[in-house]
Amino acid sequence: MGRRSSITVFLVAAFLGSAAFARDPATTGNPVADSLVLQGEKLVDSGYSMWKKGDMLHGYALLQRADVLAPGDRYVEYYLAYAAYRLMTYGMATKQDEVYDEFADRAEKTAERLDVRYPEWSEPGVLLAAVYGIEIAHSWIKAPTLGPKSSAIVEKALSVDSTNPRACMILGTGKFNTPGIFGGSVGKAVEYFRKSVALFESSGIRQGQDLEPSWGYVDALTWLGLAYEKQERYADALAAYRRALEADPNYARAKHVLIPEVESKIGSSNQK
């Protein structure tokens, strides 16, 4: 084999080796901690889907155990912030202020710390922006401060990773929830939600396979449906909700609230 061929083989091997490394699953380096994180995330997600606080709290406790085994690990801290985000959302929606108050501060501080510590990682910033969104929903007086802050954080995250589907979803929620006179737009929100769904589907939904964040697909479909409803596109909204339920058959909100309500609207419009 000539020198040129040897160099070519070396470069190809090096490239394939680096590509294989890039595809390595995200871990803490501690197999027991990895297992606890995956179990905790699954409990938080299923608990949130079925509106079971006990399951979410159980998941959070498993993540705390993982933190003992792998202290300071970025994935453990990320999922602690994520679990707190889901719990604060549950507390706000169910008007359980004690739950909201307990977990809002934890979610914000942990996500902020991770965003500063890992500026090359888009996920903490996106999660922090999501936390700010719930804080605004809980108290609209925070909107003038946290709204622009959230948008700036997500834009920064997209500059790090332009294909992050959660970032597009959070930008969409900002456009959806902001009054038009302040820059909100349901039409623009639909564009962001559609892009988010497309990014999720093109990258593959691999939730629970490793520690790299993959949550948000069902959320994006839900937001897309809500935006379609605002536009009185009820058939499109129903299709989005059904896709969300197909992705998560235990999704109680779609099954018991969103789908029946939009089917009723379609029935009413057909009778006119």
Residue 239, domain CATH: 1.25.40.10
User: Same structural domain for residues 154 and 39?
Assistant: yes
User: Same structural domain for residues 177 and 271?
Assistant: yes
Structure confidence by residue, pLDDT tens digits, 182-208 = 899 999 999 999 999 999 999 876 666
Dist CA 64 CA 44 (whole Å): 13
User: Same structural domain for residues 151 and 218?
Assistant: no
DSSP conformational letter for 70: S
User: Same structural domain for residues 65 and 123?
Assistant: yes
pLDDT score at 27 = 86
Residue 81 forms part of a structural domain? yes
Dist CA 197 CA 227 (whole Å): 13
* pLDDT of 213 strictly over 70: yes
Average pLDDT score over the chain = 89
User: Same structural domain for residues 152 and 223?
Assistant: no
Q: What domain range is 115 assigned to?
A: 32-161
pLDDT score at 166 = 97
Residue with tokens 């039409």: 187
Supply angle C-alpha 71, 75, 81, rounded to 5: 90
Residue 2 forms part of a structural domain? no
Residue 204 forms part of a structural domain? yes
Residue 85 forms part of a structural domain? yes
* pLDDT of 271 strictly over 80: no
Contact 179, 187 (CB under 8 A): no
Instruction: Look at residues 96, 127, 161 and tell me which one is the last residue of a structural domain.
Output: 161
pLDDT class for 267, splitting at 50, 70, 90?
A: confident
Total number of domains in the chain: 2
pLDDT score at 21 = 30
pTM: 0.88
For 60, residues 6+ apart whose C-beta sits below 8 A from its C-beta are 40, 44, 80, 83, 84, 87
Task: State phi, psi for 175 to the nearest 5 degrees.
Answer: -65, -35
pLDDT score at 204 = 73
User: Same structural domain for residues 37 and 148?
Assistant: yes
User: Same structural domain for residues 152 and 179?
Assistant: no
Structure confidence by residue, pLDDT tens digits, 37-58 = 999 999 999 999 999 999 999 9
User: Same structural domain for residues 142 and 178?
Assistant: no
- Flag the least confident range among 1-5, 244-248, 258-262: 1-5
Residue 51 forms part of a structural domain? yes
Contact 168, 195 (CB under 8 A): yes
Residue 10 forms part of a structural domain? no
* pLDDT of 220 strictly over 90: yes
